[in-house]
Amino acid sequence: MSDVRTTCAYCGVGCGIIATPDGSGGAVIVGDAKHPANFGRLCTKGTTLGHTLSLEDRLLNPMIGGVQATWNEATDLVAKKFKETIEEHGPDSVAFYVSGQLLTEDYYVANKLMKGFIGSANIDTNSRLCMASSVAGHKRAFGTDTVPGTYADLDEADLIVLVGSNLAWCHPVLHQRIIAAQEQRGLKIVNIDPRRTATSDMADMHLGIAPGGDVALFNGLLKYLGDAGKIDAEYIAKHVNGFADAMAAVTPYSLGHVSSLTGLTPQELEEFYCTYAKTERVVTIYSQGVNQASDGTDKVNAIINCHLATGRIGGAGQGPFSVTGQPNAMGGREVGGLANMLAAHLDIENPDHRDMVQDFWNSPTLPTQAGLKAVDMFKACASGKIKALWVMCTNPAVSMPRADDVAAAIEVVDFVVVSDIVEETDTTVLADVLLPAAGWGEKDGTVTNSERRISRQRAFLPLPEQARPDWKIICDVAKKMGWGADFSYQGPHEIFKEWASQTYLSVLAGKDLDLTALSEISVDRYEGLEPVQWPVRPDGGDTRFFENGGFFTSDAKARMLAVHAQANSAICDLKYPYILNTGRVRDHWHTLTRTAKSAVLSQHISEPFLQINAADAADIGVETADLVQVNSPYGTAVLRAQVSDRQQVGQVFAPLHWTGQFSAKGRIDVVVPDLVDPVSGQPELKRTAVGISKF
Ligand code: SF4
């Protein structure tokens, strides 16, 4: 096989890749110079994708109760058990927990099966842990989950504010892009993060904010902008509601007050505020440090408020910009993969929207209210409410907060199905039925990156043994549940075509998500589909939103929100005196199932660690390389101490990646509480009060 143009398996930058199969199961990987997300650049994870293609550790056959089975036996059993459970206990007794690593076509049929045919909204995704607060913040401000800008804005901005984002490690190619602009034309970068990271090192200004100080910081900025006469009164009069209330809410946020809430000096605040106030072209990039918080949605709206108040949104080089963690978190939220959304950005609470979706699918039913979000879904497993669970393409026994309790909750469920590419994970060992899924390089479909750009993932390797694409596994089960005619797709092209047609409903409802130009897409055009942003315009067109208003609310105006700084969710005391922050490292991904296969990637960091300030390390009596025990009321992890001045006193950091397979006590999410944002349902993964002792 010759070169195949595809898309990286990892982060939401969505880099284009050219894969050249080597004929023995591997491939040579280079960046795709024609892809507008990366123009040929790749980071270490993308470059080494060819190292991760071996079949070692792969789940290659269906398994029932630990015994190899045929596909027919496995899908018969899954369909029978789900049908019996629904008949006996109702549709809300079953649940799907899916993943931002699924392709859009997989996500689409999973959502269609659960919401349109089973009749429950109990489908949620690990994207709930990634960007649900951005979705909720967008909906509150814009009326829809719309990312206003594009990557091209990074090339046009004069100031980039990076909030809660270690872009250099987590979205490296975007970081390379802004560093090039910094070097070539003096773009200024401000990084707001409690830790000093690789991103902070390259920034013009690093603000080492106290954990959870973001609402106070941006409320203070809004007040400063008002006092400095930088409000765009004309834009607000035409396009924004809620301005007066939002300004009233920020009245108390003087420099002194914000300083007391953020730990930043008044001088630091004034320098940042002044830089923001005098720069017209500002992009605020935010990521998990904003979203993964019990006030994550308020943080998002505090950021958006500043852009709306100054009219700095939708123009070249202007706007708030949420960058997603996973390769297809965006595609999932587009097709309704969250428990509180319908496909095409329609609202589950809206009866007109429900009718439109049900008519489109000609489906027997549709839920009338939101389903269980991730944390609540596993609580419902523990309480016995969920009696059949299907986990697709993710490892919640490692990645969910209170991970030990989540593993125990899955064990309570009567019937557990896991589709995965890996045979043994902390979650697959809990399953009654294992279904072997196709992996990256073996499956075909589309993903959407952080700038709304749809790209093809293309197969360049044969399906190994009995592995099947996720869309096919889901459709095979749906057929056996009695809905054969509605899930009779011959391939991902037919699913994509139906999905693109369904976005007509978004247009009809006055929403943003328009792929209708692709609704008659031929097989050949789908095969050769070039990366394309939505809204998809026949002429290419301008893909930014909101320069001239046009928000997706009833009066086409955006909403500024009056938001308030909350008391710290992590209460430190003598037993738990440190604040734990969790996150990624540069060369690993999620729960290591792919990146641990590359020796090159493991050279960077090969074991779990706890980064700790020298003063705290001295108090505890530990040095770099000592083992330390991290405790909370929910669990214990044992990690290698890494003494570093990158941490502030009283704060520690641990990576999220390590699983029971790689490090018996390295699972840091066992200590994290399941506190969630009340609006978005996203868990607080960035602020946990912990105790630390030498092991
Ligand atoms: Fe892949 Fe993200 Fe790296 Fe691009 S930046 S190569 S999408 S991991």
188-192 vs 159-163, strand pairing mode: parallel
170 lines ligand 1 (CB under 6 A): no
Question: With the CA atoms of 530, 534, 539 and 541 taken in that order, what torsion angle do they form, in degrees rounded to the nearest 10?
Answer: -120
Q: Is residue 562 part of a domain?
A: no
308 lines ligand 1 (CB under 6 A): no
Are residue 258 and residue 290 in the same domain, yes or no?
Answer: yes
What's residue 612's pLDDT? 98
The residue among 496, 511, 541 that closes a domain is 496
What's residue 657's pLDDT? 87
- Asked whether this complex has an ipTM greater than 0.90, the answer is yes
Are residue 628 and residue 608 in the same domain, yes or no?
Answer: yes
Q: Which residues contact 374 (CB under 8 A, 6 or more apart)?
A: 97, 124, 125, 126, 128, 129, 396, 400, 681, 683
Q: Is residue 189 part of a domain?
A: yes
Q: What CA–CA distance (Å, rounded) separates 493 from 524?
A: 9
Are residue 438 and residue 346 in the same domain, yes or no?
Answer: yes
Contact 654, 627 (CB under 8 A): no
Given ligand 1 and candidates 52, 173, 455, 600, which is best to mutate, with the most ligand atoms within 8 Å of its CB?
173
How many whole angstroms from 193 Cα to the centroid of ligand 1? 22
Q: What CA–CA distance (Å, rounded) separates 504 from 498?
A: 10
SS3 category, 454: strand
How many whole angstroms from 89 Cα to the centroid of ligand 1? 44
pLDDT beneath 70: ranges in the chain? 1, 540-542, 569
Please give the structure tokens belonging to residue 192.
């707001």
Are residue 335 and residue 241 in the same domain, yes or no?
Answer: no
Q: What CA–CA distance (Å, rounded) separates 356 from 505?
A: 7
Q: Is residue 546 part of a domain?
A: no
46 lines ligand 1 (CB under 6 A): yes
What residue has token string 């499956």? 443
Q: What is the CATH number of the domain that holds 354?
A: 3.40.50.740
The residue among 323, 338, 366 that closes a domain is 323
The residue among 323, 349, 370 that closes a domain is 323
pLDDT digits (tens, 9 = 90+) for 616-657: 999 999 999 999 999 999 999 999 999 999 999 999 999 988
Reported as half-sphere exposure (CB side, CA atoms, 13 A), residue 463 has a value of 14
How many domains, in total, are found in the chain? 4
pLDDT digits (tens, 9 = 90+) for 307-326: 999 999 999 999 999 999 88
Eight-state DSSP code of residue 324: P
Q: By C-alpha distance, which of 386, 262, 401 is closest to 682? A: 401
Question: With the CA atoms of 657, 660, 665 and 667 taken in that order, what torsion angle do they form, in degrees rounded to the nearest 10?
Answer: 30
Cα-atom radius of gyration of the chain, to the nearest Å? 24
Given ligand 1 and candidates 13, 177, 324, which is best to mutate, with the most ligand atoms within 8 Å of its CB?
13
Beta bridge partners of 448: 454
What's residue 472's pLDDT? 98
What's residue 539's pLDDT? 73
Are residue 182 and residue 318 in the same domain, yes or no?
Answer: yes
CB neighbourhood size of 294 (10 A): 23
pLDDT digits (tens, 9 = 90+) for 282-295: 999 999 999 999 99
Q: What is the CATH number of the domain that holds 275?
A: 3.40.228.10
Q: Is residue 531 part of a domain?
A: no
Given ligand 1 and candidates 6, 43, 169, 447, which is best to mutate, with the most ligand atoms within 8 Å of its CB?
43
Q: What is the CATH number of the domain that holds 681?
A: 2.40.40.20
Q: By C-alpha distance, which of 539, 160, 426 is closest to 317? A: 160
How many whole angstroms from 309 Cα to the centroid of ligand 1? 33
Eight-state DSSP code of residue 34: T
Q: Is residue 635 part of a domain?
A: yes
Contact 250, 258 (CB under 8 A): no
Sign of the torsion angle spanned by Cα atoms 552, 553, 556, 559: negative
Atom of ligand 1 lying closest to residue 173 CA = 5
Q: By C-alpha distance, which of 536, 508, 429, 421 is closest to 473? A: 421
Cα–Cα distance list, 628 to 109, 195, 604, 615, 666 (Å): 45, 20, 21, 15, 11
Q: Is residue 185 part of a domain?
A: yes
Are residue 306 and residue 347 in the same domain, yes or no?
Answer: no
Beta bridge partners of 454: 448, 532
What's residue 281's pLDDT? 98
How many whole angstroms from 117 Cα to the centroid of ligand 1? 36
Are residue 162 and residue 304 in the same domain, yes or no?
Answer: yes
Q: What CA–CA distance (Å, rounded) separates 375 from 379?
A: 6
Q: Which residues of 196-212 are buried (b: 16+ CB within 10 A; e: fewer)?
A: bbbbbebbeebbbbbbb
Q: Is residue 99 part of a domain?
A: yes
Expressed as residue numbers, the domain containing 22 is: 4-52
14 lines ligand 1 (CB under 6 A): yes
Are residue 337 and residue 483 in the same domain, yes or no?
Answer: yes
- C-alpha 457 chain-centroid distance: 18
Are residue 446 and residue 341 in the same domain, yes or no?
Answer: yes
Are residue 202 and residue 341 in the same domain, yes or no?
Answer: no
325 lines ligand 1 (CB under 6 A): no
Contact 41, 151 (CB under 8 A): no
Please give the structure tokens belonging to residue 106.
């997989």
Are residue 223 and residue 294 in the same domain, yes or no?
Answer: yes
171 lines ligand 1 (CB under 6 A): yes
Cα–Cα distance list, 477 to 62, 71, 109, 119 (Å): 13, 10, 11, 16
SS3 category, 524: helix
What's residue 605's pLDDT? 87
What residue has token string 């690093």? 206
Cα three-residue angle 441-443-446, rounded to 5 degrees: 105
CB neighbourhood size of 485 (10 A): 8
Q: Which residues contact 584 (CB under 8 A, 6 or more apart)?
A: 166, 169, 170, 655, 656, 657
Atom of ligand 1 lying closest to residue 8 CA = 1
Omega of the bond prior to 577 within 30 degrees of 0, cis? no
Q: What CA–CA distance (Å, rounded) separates 264 from 258?
A: 8
Are residue 198 and residue 283 in the same domain, yes or no?
Answer: yes
What's residue 1's pLDDT? 66
Sign of the torsion angle spanned by Cα atoms 389, 394, 397, 400: negative
pTM: 0.96
336 lines ligand 1 (CB under 6 A): no
Which stretches within 104-242 are classed as H helix? 104-111, 132-142, 152-156, 167-170, 172-185, 198-202, 214-227, 233-239
Q: Is residue 435 part of a domain?
A: yes
